[in-house]
Amino acid sequence: MIYEFRTYDLKPRTLPQYETILKDALSGGRLDYSRLFGYWYTEFGPLNQALHVWPYNDLNERAEIRQKVNGVGNWPPATASILAAQAADIYYPAPFNDESIVGDHGPYYELRIYDYSTGEIPAVIDAWSKAIDERRKHSSFIGAWYSEFGGLNEWAHMWAYKSLEERDNVRAEMIAKKIWPAPGGPAPKRQESRLFKPFPFSPLK
């Protein structure tokens, strides 16, 4: 399985317009062809940014579905005039992900992206595999993924929280109890964090 992370930078003050266009476009039949994992907009981090994540069995299925949905209902959405930039990254899911996760876990979703040295991703997966069951008891673990196309040697992971206070408290507790970061794993070379909130039409709320 692969996950396509599509990141769109919107022109300032166009987020409400974008939401209206996407709500209409998604209701026109696009979701009959493949599953939408989640759809969010930034609360903290780069402003006016939308992230939508689509799972596919493989790159061939992705190409076939994208061809099939062209012209279905109002797809692709008529957003060209309000987009400032677009990017797409392909990730493989970590073996311990819950691929069926849906529902209300937010409203705050934190996406953290780490860069590692060449060849270190297997060691990251190994360390996380040993620690993730305990860590996910304390806040919603949405998933972790490693890059295939886009930035190389990237490790993306997403967590959901009911409030910013819960996020701060959980993170402090995990560090104090030495539950997290996953013990024994390599240290990343670079880290970034973006905090998102879900659009009303996102399967993950």
Q: What is the pLDDT of residue 149?
A: 85
| Alpha-carbon distances of 114 from 57, 151, 201, rounded to whole Å | 25, 10, 28
Q: Give the CATH number for residue 17.
A: 3.30.70.100
| Alpha-carbon distances of 19 from 22, 100, 199, rounded to whole Å | 5, 25, 7
End-to-end CA distance of the chain: 23
Residues 143, 108: Cα–Cα separation, whole Å: 14
State the number of CA atoms in the 13 A half-sphere of 41 facing the CB.
Answer: 17
Amino acid 158 reads: M
User: If we measure between CA atoms, which residue out of 93, 105, 116, 100 comes closest to residue 3?
Assistant: 93
Secondary structure (3-state) at 20? helix
Domains of the chain: total = 1
For residue 35, give its domain range.
Answer: 2-196
Would you say residue 9 lies in a domain?
yes
Residue 25 is inside which H or E element, if any? Answer: helix 15-26
Would you say residue 205 lies in a domain?
no
User: Alpha-carbon Rg of the chain, whole angstroms?
Assistant: 17
pTM of the predicted structure, to 2 decimals: 0.96
Would you say residue 201 lies in a domain?
no
Residues 33, 39: Cα–Cα separation, whole Å: 17
User: If we measure between CA atoms, which residue out of 45, 46, 90, 48 comes closest to residue 66?
Assistant: 90
Q: What is the pLDDT of residue 203?
A: 97
Per-residue pLDDT 10s for the chain (205 aa) are 999 999 999 999 999 999 999 999 999 999 999 999 999 999 999 999 999 999 999 999 999 999 999 999 999 999 999 999 999 999 999 999 999 999 999 999 999 999 999 999 999 999 999 999 999 999 999 999 999 888 899 999 999 999 999 999 999 999 999 999 999 999 999 999 999 999 999 999 9
Q: What is the pLDDT of residue 17?
A: 98
